[in-house]
Amino acid sequence: MQNALLIACGFMLLGVVLRARLRWLAAIYVPASLVAGLVALILTQTILITNSGDAEPAARVFQQLCTLFIRATIEWDAWRSPLIPVIFAGMLLVVPERESTGQLRATVQQGIAAWVLILGQLAIGLTVAWLILGPTFGVPIHFGQLLEVSWAGGFGSSAAWGNQHEKLNVFPGARDLAVFFTTTGLLYGVLSGVLLVNIAIRRRWTSQDSPIDPTDAVRNVETARPRPGLAGDAIDPLMFQILLLAAAFTVGVLIQKSVASISQLAPQGSIVRSLGTDLPLFVFTLVGGWLVRRFIVAIGGARMINNEWMHRLTGVALELLIFVAIATLKVGVIRENWLPSLILMLAGAAWVWFNVVWVSRRLLPRDCWFELAIMNHGFATATTAQGMMLLRMVDRDLRTNAARIYAQAAPLTAIFIGGGVITYLMPLILGAVNPIVPIGCAAGAAVVLFIVGKRVAANAPPCSSAAQALPTAG
């Protein structure tokens, strides 16, 4: 454990150095943990290739170092199981900010647009897998969920969803393909996002006259200074946040055990029994986080939860998860599925592009529709941070309320889809019903929400007048 942790820290530091030295990595907002994971993955494959066969390593020291490193990668692979529930436990511990009454409609518009975007990814992905990829390449219908769980969900959801499939044993290689999809989605999202920004400027879709340098956008992203979440000297404030996170984790474990015990009363093979035994721990720690937060708020201790530090604690777990997910990728699985993966990615790329240029302008507030659309484009192809970077290219000082509206609407989707509860129920649903049922439900819901969203947007006020703009950076 100690050696694996030290080696992981060394690679993470190397990733930070490489990202600082190579400006183009900062320009596309590639996290240092991803860079570190790629370096470790390359080194792993190199060692496996050079040490294959009967040839002895050139030196005993080199052999010992290689053995130590390979053992570390095996330990890293085991880190995923505890890291994932920690991340989800902290997601709903954060106390949401109160939104102004004037922004409620804009928040609903953004929530509807995000649902349409993610449901479209799910419906398109499952349809392509069912009608094209399954008959042609023999991949399971679960393959089609990769777009929704990887591009909209991100690295944490990809690893969690992959772990779930390892337990269900219905989609071998799900975890490696999901992490691969997230990585490629990040690269596509930035490149296509920059292109969309330039098109938007020329067509006057934005509130700014010209785009800014993407590296400047990255440098100017605000980072809030943590504030103590607990007054007095009873306990270190950071330690208190760790205790809250541990409490959410513990509550999640207790709920999981309770549900598993109750589900045993259901008939063998029923969906209720499957839900009780097959749902992973992180789904319950998500609920645990919400329950702990509600309890703290109910006793008047909302100020005891420090949102910034809670984000940082879960951020540490996520950085480690990204590193180990990339570093322990099984390249053979990706090599075997590169063609169906490419076809599915092309379908997903076409949908998110269409969503920006056509769907979003009909659903989002008129004065900042593109600013919100480009943020949605970022989160729908890998990470919210990527969407924030693209937003800063068209709204450098955050003069519109796009960022605030996006943040307020995030709980409307994050809990349920694109890495939420529905995401992790879907593998069980796909194994229990005909594929036409989830496809029809996803597509039908997207169409209904689009119609409702158009009516909501018809009389919506400009988002610039909905509330005060966020404070400028720098």
Nearest to 22 by CA among 223, 194, 14, 393: 14
Comparing 50-54, 282-286, 356-360, the range with the smallest average pLDDT is 50-54
pLDDT class of 403 with cuts at 50, 70, 90: confident
- Any idea what the Cα angle at residue 341 is, between residues 353 and 317, rounded to 5°? 85
pLDDT at 379: 87
Question: Residue range 415-435: average pLDDT?
Answer: 87
129, 453 in Cβ contact below 8 A? Answer: no
Q: Are 200 and 206 in contact (CB under 8 A)?
A: yes
Q: What is the pLDDT of residue 54?
A: 46
- At 331-383, the pLDDT tens digits run 888 889 999 999 999 999 999 999 999 999 999 988 889 999 998 998 898 77
Reported pTM: 0.76
Contact 453, 116 (CB under 8 A): yes
- 129 CB contacts (<8 Å, ≥6 apart)? 139, 140, 141, 142, 143, 144, 344
pLDDT at 202 over 90: no
Q: How would DSSP label each residue in 145-180? A: GHIIIIIITHHHHHHHHHHHHHHHTSSTTHHHHHHH
Query: What integer is the mean pLDDT of 385-410?
Result: 79
Measured CA to CA in angstroms, residue 109 lies from 31, 193, 369, 389 at distances of: 30, 21, 10, 22
- Span 136-155, pLDDT tens digits: 999 999 999 999 999 998 88
Q: Can you tell me the mean pLDDT for 183-210?
A: 82
Residues 6+ apart with CB under 8 A from 397: 472, 473
- Whole-number pLDDT of residue 448: 97
* Percentage of residues in the chain having pLDDT higher than 70: 83
Alpha helices in 129-270 (DSSP H): 134-137, 146, 154-168, 174-202, 214-219, 237-263
What pLDDT does residue 114 have?
A: 95
Q: Render pLDDT for 103-138 as a digit per residue (tens, 0 to 9).
A: 788 889 999 999 999 999 999 999 999 999 999 999
Taking a C-beta distance cutoff of 8 angstroms, is the pair 131, 454 a contact? no
**Mean pLDDT across 326-332:** 83
* pLDDT score at 461: 59
Give the tokens for residue 295: 């309890």
Nearest to 106 by CA among 472, 403, 387, 418: 403
pLDDT at 60 over 80: no
Of 41, 36, 5, 3, residue with least CA distance to 18: 36
Please tell me which residue, 455 or 465, carries the higher pLDDT value.
455
Q: Is the pLDDT of residue 57 over 70?
A: no
For residue 211, the model assigns a pLDDT of: 46
The C-alpha atoms of residue 11 and residue 253 are separated, in whole angstroms, by: 32
Least confident range of 295-304, 340-349, 452-461: 452-461
- Containing 454, the helix (H) or strand (E) segment is helix 436-458
The pair of structure tokens assigned to 360 is 């979003």
Question: Quick one: pLDDT band at residue 272, thresholds 50, 70, 90?
Answer: low
Token pair listed for 73: 């990668």
- φ/ψ of residue 460, rounded to 5: -75, 140
Q: What is the mean pLDDT of residues 274-301?
A: 81
Do the beta carbons of residue 226 and residue 241 sit within 8 Å?
A: no
